[in-house]
Chain A
Amino acid sequence: MNRKFLYLTKVSLRKKFKTKWFVITNVILAVAIVLFLNINSIVSFFGGDFDSKTKIIVVDNNTNSYSLFEKNIESYASTINSDEEDVKVTVKKSEKDVKKLKENLEDDEILIELNSDSTEYLKAKVTSNEKIDTLTYQVLSQSLNSTKTTIGMAVNDIDAATLNNISSPVTIDRVVLNESNNVDENMGLIMSSVFPTIILPFFMLTMILIQMVGGEICEEKTTRSMEIIISNVSPKQHLMSKILASNIFVIVQGLLLVVYACLGLLISTNMLSTGMSLPSEVTSIFDSLVASGFIEKLIYVIPLTLILIVLSFLAYSIVAGILASMTVNMEDFSQLQTPLVFLSLGGYYLAMMAGMFNGSLLIRILSYVPFLSSFVSPSLYMMGEIGLIDIVISIIVLVIFIYLILHFGIKVYKVGILNYSNEKVWSKLFKAFKSKDV
């Protein structure tokens, strides 16, 4: 490879990595990711008491159902706790005056008055100083419902088996003949929580890439250094050096994000062995991923997605470089790069909303479109909308697209980098497009 090309790439990389902002940004990112993955442990460390219990004070107004309610609430609370959720309650009966109890009610106390009712068997009044959190309220209401059901069964002389037969849902024998078209119930969770987490960094890195390639070319152009540089290396080598350096940078930055995530999980796992736990959100998402077969699919899709991502980075950076060559200053470039930003934003949203277009031919076609394919194809594959062969087609389309933009774009680049006028930019561009000279 040409010595000057390698030198240009090296200088460009040095400019990107050897800045205080790169170090500062990565320190912040590393800390943020590690903190996020260990948030429970950190909150506990700084005094957040997850073991504090909500005290439930029950006033039983002649319903004789306190012992039943107490049993139910303990049972529900323990079921939820075993599912990694945290509901810790203590229940005690009180004979005190309700008015006095309300006056002295603490923030971690809930007062429940159990009243009998001739038609509904059991009614309850729940009083608290603060709003009760969803899980605790869920435990309370389920316990009250169960208590009411038991009272109702006793009053109407219905045994548990009969009631169960009445209230159990209809048994549905579900058969899906075409497995590949099956959208798993867990996919909703995956599309709403996992995909944004995976795609957002890719989207952000794409934005950084566009800015980086364009910014550097624009800087060299506005300072007129371009004329000196281009007189010593060909415009093609110049553009390729910027593209290579910027792509290496975003790939390294992407890998660093993975390293930070692994580090966060490693710390979290170590804490796990000493009694602390992974955030319940993480474990429940992971369980959903396993249940949906997502992990199994990932093994096939990861290599193809990586190829697609790297090729998309390449396509975005080539177009950003060509656009930057046509601009006279950074303001111009900011305007000219807007379509690229919207394209990637469109891809991001399409990937997020892919589930809404279940079976649509349009979304399938969009998954082949360069710039969008890296966002849309993997998500459609994970949903079972497209197969591996479709991702391969997306890759082939992208390779052809890159060849074409390089072939025609380099002519525009060669003319653009020496053009310092805003007049007739598009006319000059089309003329350069048609020219035979590369």
Chain B
Amino acid sequence: MLEVKHITKYYGNNKAVSDLSFTVKDGEIFGLLGENGAGKTTTFRIIMGLIEANSGEVLLDGKKIDYNLTDKIGFVTEERSLLTKLTVLEQLTFYGVLKGLDERTIEKDIDKWLERFSIASYKNRKIKELSKGNQQKIQFISAIINHPKLLILDEPFTGLDPINVKMMKDAIYDLQKEGCSIIFSSHQMEYIEDFCEKLVILVKGHPVVSGDLKTIKEDFGIKNIMLRGDDLPLLKLEKVKGVISVSKVRGEIEVKIEDKIVAPKIFSLVKNCNITKYDVVEPTLNEIFIAKVGGIHE
């Protein structure tokens, strides 16, 4: 289990991370969101022990993270951290041995993972000769070759096509089943919604939203009602108290409301319009992110 307790980090006078706390249990996938420069990389670096926080602490299974514990952590960085002049085998061996694995026995594991990601034929090819997608797979394998207790994934799906994304997702779920704690960061909110039960959104180092995704959506208040029917009274709908907006989305009418208590009023207005669809849906994480992050910018 990873425990991040009240960490704060300054770069000069700039507060990069401010009083950030969260816990990632074994087998849990946790989302760390934020726009560029929000403090995600600094948080990852603190967890990896690359830099020290000015205050607070990070514990993995109750122990302060040191060079012995980082052997149990896998890290996929946002930019590809590969030595492009090495071959695939050399690169994976290099990171594997640095993670404490035995140089003489590591090749079996490497073969297994290369096979699983359908890139076994590239084993002796130089990294620079591979496509971006294949390089991303190598980076992912290098992060999980040590069977980590904690896996940090910063934009892991960059450059991958849907088939390879699925391949990688399956691998992540397998690691989750093995009890690996996973921190996931991405600007693609659909991935976060797919993976994470818990998350934190950082804005300029401050956690502005944190907790369980379901609760976050409920607490967000704003709901969407999706309508399909004949002669819907759009002007009347707009004038209802508590309606934020009415718009056309993919052939349907989307009514954005401030709270779910507004929903019955909308229903009473449209019930005689031959409606074929009336659906109250939760807001997307994207909407929450834009509302929270954008709102602070405004």
Whether B50 is near chain A, meaning CB under 8 Å from some CB there, is yes
Is the C-beta of A31 less than 8 angstroms from some C-beta in chain B?
A: no
With A7-B103, A229-B98, A418-B50: A224-B45 Cβ-Cβ less than 8 Å = no
Residue from B73, B81, B95 having most chain A Cβ neighbours under 10 A: B81
Asked whether B48 lies within 8 Å of A225 as measured between CB atoms, the reply is: no
Residues of A within 8 A of B71 (CB): 232
Interface string of B57-84 (1 = CB under 8 A from A): 0000000000100110101010111111
Cβ of A11 within 8 Å of any chain B Cβ, yes or no, is yes
Contact with A223, one of B73, B80, B97 (Cβ below 8 angstroms): B80
Chain B residues touching A, majority SS:
loop
CB pair B81–A228 under 8 Å, yes or no, is: yes
Residues of the A chain whose Cβ atoms lie less than 8 Å from the Cβ of B77: 224, 227-228
Cβ of A231 under 8 Å from chain B: yes
> A219 and B83: CB pair below 8 A?
yes
Is A234 a contact of B67 with CB atoms below 8 Å?
Answer: yes
B52 at the interface (CB under 8 A from A): yes
Q: Are B67 and A227 in contact (CB under 8 A)?
A: no
Tell me if B99 counts as interface (CB < 8 A to partner A): yes
Tell me the bound Cα distance from A32 to B94 in angstroms. 37
Establish whether residues A227 and B98, one from each chain, have CB atoms under 8 Å apart when the complex forms.
no
Which residues on B sit within 8 Å (CB–CB) of A431? 12
Q: How far is the CB of A21 from chain B (nearest CB, A)?
A: 12
Chain B residue, CB-CB nearest to A232: B98
CB-nearest residue of chain B to A237: B67
Query: Does any Cβ of A come within 8 Å of B275's Cβ?
Result: no
A180 to B269, CA, bound (A): 112
Tell me if B261 is interfacial: C-beta within 8 Å of chain A.
no
CB distance from B98 to the nearest CB of A (A): 4
Nearest opposing residue in chain B for A226, CB measure: B81
**B97, A230: Cβ atoms under 8 Å?**
no
Q: B84 to A223, Cβ gap below 8 A?
A: yes
Nearest CB of chain A from residue B140's CB, rounded to whole Å: 13
One digit per residue, 1 when the CB lies within 8 angstroms of any chain B CB and 0 when it does not, for chain A 172-186 equals 000000000000000
Report the separation of the CA atoms of residues A7 and B104 in the bound assembly, to the nearest whole angstrom: 12
Partner of B50, one of A225, A231, A437: A231
Q: How far is the CA of A229 from the CA of B99 in the complex (A)?
A: 9
Interface residues of A (CB under 8 A from B): 4, 7-8, 11, 15, 219-220, 223-234, 418, 431, 437
The 5 A-B residue pairs with the shortest CB-CB distance, nearest first, are A232-B98, A224-B81, A231-B48, A225-B81, A224-B79
B51 at the interface (CB under 8 A from A): yes
Cβ-defined contact, A7 with B84, below 8 A? no
Q: Is B242 an interface residue (CB 8 A)?
A: no
Instruction: List 10 extra interface pairs beyond A226-B81, A228-B95, A231-B50, CB under 8 A.
Output: A219-B83, A223-B80, A224-B79, A224-B81, A225-B83, A227-B50, A231-B73, A232-B71, A233-B67, A418-B50
**A228–B51 CB distance below 8 A:** no
User: Nearest chain A CB to B190's CB is how many angstroms away?
Assistant: 26
Are A227 and B97 touching (Cβ within 8 A)? no
With both chains docked as a complex, state the minimum distance between the C-beta of A180 and any C-beta of chain B, in angstroms.
53
B49 beta carbon closer than 8 Å to chain A: yes
Q: List 21 A-B contacts (CB under 8 A).
A: A4-B100, A7-B98, A7-B103, A219-B85, A220-B83, A223-B81, A223-B82, A223-B84, A224-B77, A224-B80, A224-B81, A225-B81, A225-B82, A226-B81, A227-B81, A228-B142, A231-B50, A231-B75, A232-B71, A232-B100, A418-B51
Closest chain B residue to A8 by CB distance?
B98
Rounded to whole Å, the gap between the CB of A318 and the closest CB of chain B is 22
User: With the chains together, A233 CA to B49 CA distance in Å?
Assistant: 10
Majority secondary structure, A binding face: helix
A4 contact set on B, CB distance < 8 A: 97-98, 100
Interface pair B98/A228, CB less than 8 Å apart: yes
Cα distance A431–B84 in the bound complex, in angstroms: 33
Complexed CA–CA distance, A11 and B73 (Å): 22
Contacts of A15 in B (CB 8 A): 85
Contacts of B98 in A (CB 8 A): 4, 7-8, 228-229, 232-233
The CA of A227 and the CA of B70, in the complex, are separated in Å by 12
Within 8 Å CB of A227, what residues of B?
A: 45, 48, 50, 75, 77, 81
In the complex, what distance in Å separates the CA atom of A104 from the CA atom of B27? 103
Residues of A contacting B79 with CB < 8 Å? 224
User: A228 near B75 (CB under 8 angstroms)?
Assistant: yes
A223: chain B residues at CB < 8 Å are 80-84
A residues in contact with B70, CB < 8 Å:
231-232
A437 x B80 contact (CB < 8 A): no
Bound form: Cα–Cα A219–B103 in Å: 23
Q: In the complex, which residues of chain A have a beta carbon less than 8 angstroms from the beta carbon of B95?
A: 228
Residues of B within 8 A of A418 (CB): 45, 50-51
Cα of A234 to Cα of B52 in the assembled complex, Å: 13
Q: Which residues in window 97-113 of B have CB below 8 A to A?
A: 97-100, 103
A10 to B51, CA, bound (A): 27
Chain B residue numbers with a CB within 8 Å of A231 are 48-50, 70, 73, 75
Measured between alpha carbons, how far is A232 from B52 in the docked complex, in Å? 15
Taken together as a complex, chains A and B put the C-alpha atoms of A431 and B71 apart, in Å, by 30
Chain B residues whose C-beta falls within 8 Å of the C-beta of A228 in the assembled complex = 75, 77, 81, 95, 98, 142
Query: Which of A7, A227, A418 gathers the greatest number of chain B CB atoms within 10 Å?
Result: A227
Which residues of B sit under 8 angstroms from A225, Cβ to Cβ?
A: 81-83
Shortest Cβ distance from B79 into A: residue: A224
Question: Which one of B12, B50, B80, B82 contacts A230 once the chains associate, using CB atoms below 8 Å?
Answer: B50
Query: Is A437 a contact of B52 with CB atoms below 8 Å?
Result: yes
Complex Cα distance, B68 from A234, in Å, reads 11
